Structure formats: structure tokens, C-alpha cells
Amino acid sequence: MMTDEIPKIAFSRIIRINDLHSKENFNFNVSASKTELIALSDLFNLEKISSFSAKIELTQRYRNNAVVMTCNFSAVVFQKCVISLELVKTHIQHIFVVEFVDQTFDGLPIIGEFDCFLDEQLETIADGNIDIGPVLVQNLGLEINPFPKKEGIRLASVYKQDDLTIEDEAKPNSLKLLLKDYKFN
């Protein structure tokens, strides 16, 4: 029997927009718990994430009722080297900006002045709340090296040169194969 279950979010931090109206800038830190680190490791198919934390600054933009999040996050991840399969430890440090915008009555976001050349992401405010967790997780995923290599390792140092070369085999002529059973008069 199939169920329509929504997968649990591995890292969620919900902020009420009403709590921001009284402050010009709202600064705080977030970090993942041990359980969240395990869930994130599973999500990204990593050996381990030993730490994931972020310094967040939220700023209210009154002209379009948006909230701008500036985030500086760091993480320490362990992956297998794509060549030797040894464990590789990687320190990730990244800064990004996200603008959370209100939705209109027709469900479309109020964007205001939008410049597609800015390095800024857009997210929507849902029911007066923003969830910064999934945005942090998405940006972590973008920074994880998909092909980690242990420092100083080369393919030739692990495999013999004969194992890396592919010799060209003599390929049969396809026209001869088609015509071999055909008899000409």
C-alpha cells in the first residue's frame, strides 16, 4: 500500500515575521544537532557531517515587505575519495543572501525591483513565517564537492597504467555482417 507521506525536513528553523518588525537587524546563530547532522549526512550520502552552523542576519525591507537573510555558514564533512576510497575531510565556508518575499492574493510573490544578475535567491513568506533551514541545507548541498579527492593523490598512483588504457578492438564491418547470409545471383 502506498502512502502520500511528505518527507520530514532534515533541518528546519522557522522564524515568525512579526518578531522582526520591532528590530532593524536581527542577528543570531544556528547549528545542527547530532540527530540533524546524521539526517543531513544521509540526505547528501556522505560518510559524516561533524558540524554545521551559521551566522544569520535578517533585515526587514519595508518597500515590498520582504525579509533579507545574509548567511555565513560553515560545515565539516567527511566523504570518500573518488580515487582511493579513503576518507576525506572538507571544511566548507560560504556566504549567501536570500530575499524572502510576501505572496499576493493570487499566490504570486511580490518581487518589486528584481535584477536577474544579482547573486540573490528568492523564497516566499508562508503564513507570516519563513523557514531558513531548507535554504541553509540547499546551499550546503551546492557547496559539497561531488568528486572529492584526497590531497596529493593521482589516479596513476592507485592504478597501474595497463588498468587505465582501453585498447581498440577490431570492430567487424556492420555491412559485411548484414550481407553475409545474403546470396547474390
Distance between CA atoms of 49 and 137, rounded to whole angstroms? 12
Is residue 9 one of the residues assigned to a domain? no
Determine the Cα angle at 182 with ends 177 and 185, to 5°: 140
Residue 155 domain boundaries? 14-179
Q: 132 lies in a domain?
A: yes
Q: What is the pLDDT along the chain (185 residues), one digit of tens a residue?
A: 344 443 456 788 888 887 776 567 889 999 999 999 999 999 999 999 999 999 999 988 776 678 889 999 999 999 999 988 999 999 999 999 998 887 654 445 555 555 554 555 677 777 888 889 999 999 999 999 999 998 887 776 666 655 555 555 666 676 777 677 766 65
Enter the C-alpha cell of residue 68.
533579507
Task: Evaluate whether residue 5 is within a structural domain.
Answer: no
3-class SS shares of the chain: helix, strand, coil, % to 5: 20, 35, 45
Which residues have a Cβ under 8 Å from the Cβ of 51 and sit 6 or more positions away? 31, 32, 37, 74, 75, 76
* Domain total in the chain: 1
The answer to whether the pTM exceeds 0.75 is no
